[in-house]
Amino acid sequence: MIDGVLLKGYGGFYYVYGEDRVWECSLRGRFRIKDQEFLPGDRVTILPKEEENKGTIESVAPRRNELTRPPIANVDQAILVFAMTSPKPDLNLLDRLLIQAADSDIEPIIVFTKVDKYQETVLQGAPNLYELTEDYRKIGYTVFEVSSKTGQGIPEIGDRLKNKISVLAGPSGAGKSSLVNALSPGKELKTGQISSKSKRGRHTTRHVELMVCSGGLLADTPGFSSLLLPEMKRAELADYFPEFADFLGGCRFNSCLHDKEPNCVIKAALEEGRISPVRYEHYLLYLKEVIEAERKY
């Protein structure tokens, strides 16, 4: 028996990565009878056949987690890819993805791409966004600034992929496919272009599968244009903002939502510059959404 990870299912066959190779597998009869759904990332045990690199899936382990978009199981970390320029980073989307990752118990890693292009814009008088990347580091997130063109930061990203199942997420045109190409030379995933009219990227990824990349397994996923917040109660939203943690419990009212209530320690920290105004603005935006969603269910 060989333990492996399902990479993809196609045409009635399942491709499993185990012992440093890919096995083409069929299903044991009991799985077909149960009509069980398999997802990339499922940890399975296979029985090799006499034919080279072929086998039968004998068992599947319980899932640690499961994503619906993209449909992948047992994800360890999410690589959240945003360009420093062309297009400008959508921080609203980034903060939504950070909440989504936390809700799924997945470690987020923030990657800002196109550093080489951004440095050219700085020379032309563009705002300095390195303060932005440092703000996320101070909160406690892992952040990388990379350039797929010059190779800056690529080895460090590769080290974080080893022995883990990772997903890519972020807006189209942010450089996800270029990042994968830089991490795995020879893969040559199709890269998107930025529309000259909208300055937004075009979708280039058509399906989801895991690929062997830098000693781990990586899924390239369609770029997200919007992302709903997970279902939660209004009082739970603050728990998704790690920078609030040191202050929670110090408000005048136990039920404080850190919005319009008096004697709120979160608002005091904001005034003292200890909490990012942009992040707090997003918190208020999400709070309205959560309250509205509560009313619906």
Residues making up the annotated binding site for Zn(2+) are: 251, 256, 258, 264
Strands (E), the chain: 2-10, 13-18, 21-27, 43-48, 54-60, 66-68, 71-73, 77-83, 107-113, 142-145, 165-169, 210-213, 216-219
Task: State the alpha helices, DSSP H only, in the chain.
Answer: 29-34, 91-103, 115-123, 130-139, 154-161, 176-183, 265-271, 277-296
**CA angle (123 as vertex; 169, 117 as ends), nearest 5:** 30
Question: Which residues are annotated as part of the binding site?
Answer: 113-116, 170-178, 251, 256, 258, 264
> Beta 107-113 vs 77-83: how paired, if at all?
parallel
Structure tokens at 94: 């980034």
Task: Write b or e for each residue in 120-158: b if 16 or more Cβ atoms lie within 10 A of its Cβ, otherwise e.
Answer: eeeeeeeeebeebbebbeebebebbbbbbeeebbbeebb
Cα–Cα distances in Å, from 247 out to 77, 242, 256, 260? 27, 10, 12, 17
Using CA atoms, how far residue 51 sits from 17, 20, 25, 27, 47, in Å, is 16, 17, 11, 16, 11
| Residue positions forming the annotated binding site for GTP | 113-116, 170-178
> What is the β-pairing status of strands 13-18 and 54-60?
unpaired
